Amino acid sequence: MKVPHVAVLSSLGMGHVIPLLELAKCLVVHHHCHVSFLNITTEASAAQNELLHSPGTLPPGLHVIDLPPVDISSLVSDETPIVSRLSINLQESLSYSLKSVLIELGKLQALVIDLFCSQAFEISKDLSVPTYSFCTASAAFLALSLYLPGLDREVECEFIDLESIQVPNCAPVRIEDLAEEVRNRKADDFKWLLLHFSRLPMATRIFLNSWEDLEPVSLKAIREHSFYHQIPTPKICAIGPLIKHDDVAMTEADVECQAWLDKQPLDSVLLIALGSGGTLTAAQLTELAWGLELSRQRFILVARKPTDASASGMFFNVGGDVNDPKAYLPEGFLERTKGVGLVLPSWAPQLMVLRHPSTGAFISHCGWNSILESISHDVPMITWPLYAEQRMNATMLVEEVGVAVKLTGGPEKGNIVGREVIERVIRMVMKGDEGKMMRDRAGELKDSAQKALSFGGSSYESLSCVVEEWKKKIMP
């Protein structure tokens, strides 16, 4: 039997590593490929290292290859903006070792890369390796990404001076929903994003971690609108939702968390988890804690030491922090909410919590992985976007998908969300009719996602067709 050999290359960040690793697993387990997963080790977080190197977690046929670390200390600092820091890291890491690693792997049928690894296009072209781009965000974000280089050429003012950005045949993107990196066209972060976006047409195909029923409007626009044909845009293959099915081996704290959930009524627990890299300010965390207490609803709070410096303050240190929630939660909060709430420092077994029947809703930062996990387990969301494209995701979930509600006057406007607002929205979602409607809608999409991933489903067949192309190119 012909077995394609595919290399998969992820940038840093759990939001990128997790879906690309799930794609690698899918290719091995369901499509009988051999996959080499290329791991960027420079500035890799403790959580990333644990995910990729825990014994017994990867299927036979999937091997992790660590790219040698490089010294970037003279090029970046803790003050370097996140996109620039990622891009410089990847530029140095890939230029140092990617070509030699690909040569050593031998004849490859494909290289799959994510958005920030776009330098790999030139390297793989020299080696005649077909390269596929994997979009770890939504179809709506992909449409904006493909549109942005053209918009940059046509518009002279700052994008924040526009009323909105009208992406062809898609819902307009509100200026307040734009990622910070896109707002300032003079900033290095924007220049890096523009470089990565402009290289997307170099891909043989673009894989998308979504499915046909979730984002039909954006998918139709990219595939049919004349603007995207003129770029030209590679064929879009919606192959999701690719999400983790199991957390890394459960710790003693995880087991205790599950035991606590087992004692709670159906749909009664609210999960609050703001992503692997997200942080709140001290003032905002205080208001959140008071809102939870006043709501009198059961909850699991993933508590992380607050910082006033950056909403993405933990991005490069996921899994490496140690903190004591007593030091920064309101005095007496843990004692007053004992039995009603469970506070977990830094990290939680999110998948286990979301799939537990006691979980009724999720306050989420609206990272794409967390969105897919929540929908795939029919859990409605309260949106709390922090950085990157999360504000855009939040708006889509509320206005187009119908599985979430925003906190009015919320964090996407840069304001402190008061405890009264938080209390009211929590009660509405956990106890009100609106929460029930969102839960029903999430259930419909859960069934749709399962169908898409099953044999004969749209996502399964989309990936299967590409694998068949790879098999045909294997020399007999």
* Apex 176 CA angle, 171 and 178, nearest 5: 70
CA dihedral 250, 252, 258, 264 (to 10 degrees): -170
pLDDT band at 56 (very low <50, low <70, confident <90, very high): confident
**Beta carbons within 8 Å of 332's beta carbon, 6+ residues apart:** none
Choosing from 31, 34, 114, 377, which is the catalytic residue? 114
Number of Cβ within a 10 Å radius of residue 409? 12
pLDDT average, residue stretch 273-295: 92
Q: All domains of the chain, ordered by start, with CATH? A: 5-244+452-472 (3.40.50.2000), 252-449 (3.40.50.2000)
pLDDT at 201: 97
Nearest of 140, 121, 206 to residue 179 by alpha carbon: 140
Q: Is the pLDDT of residue 408 over 70?
A: no
Q: Is the pLDDT of residue 458 over 70?
A: yes
Higher pLDDT: 2 or 155? It is: 155
Percent of the chain with pLDDT over 70: 95
Average of per-residue pLDDT values in the chain: 92
Nearest of 394, 319, 459 to residue 12 by alpha carbon: 319
pLDDT band at 394 (very low <50, low <70, confident <90, very high): very high
| Segment of 48-52, 155-159, 443-447 carrying the highest mean pLDDT | 443-447
Higher pLDDT: 322 or 120? It is: 120
| Rounded distance between C-alpha atoms, residue 9 and residue 29, angstroms | 18
Q: Is the pLDDT of residue 14 over 50?
A: yes
pLDDT at 411: 47
Cis amide prior to 168 (ω within 30 degrees): no
Nearest of 201, 192, 189 to residue 146 by alpha carbon: 201
| Rounded distance between C-alpha atoms, residue 353 and residue 357, angstroms | 9
**Beta carbons within 8 Å of 379's beta carbon, 6+ residues apart:** 271, 354, 359, 360, 361, 362, 439, 442
Give the torsion sign (CA, 381, 384, 387, 393): positive
Amino acid at 152: D
> Position of tokens 């791991």?
39
pLDDT tens figures, 175-204: 999 998 998 899 999 999 999 999 999 999
| Rounded distance between C-alpha atoms, residue 208 and residue 155, angstroms | 28
pLDDT at 316: 47
pLDDT at 246: 72
- Residue 177 known to be catalytic: no
Instruction: Give CA separation, 366 vs 102, 361, 455, in Å.
Output: 35, 13, 29
- Residue 34 known to be catalytic: no
User: DSSP state, 105?
Assistant: H
pLDDT at 250: 77
Nearest of 110, 2, 36 to residue 466 by alpha carbon: 110
Nearest of 393, 369, 403, 405 to residue 174 by alpha carbon: 393
Q: Kindly give the pairing relationship between strand 298-303 and strand 341-345.
A: parallel
Number of Cβ within a 10 Å radius of residue 119? 20
Residue 446 near residue 375, CB atoms below 8 Å: yes
Residue 326: strand, helix, or coil: helix
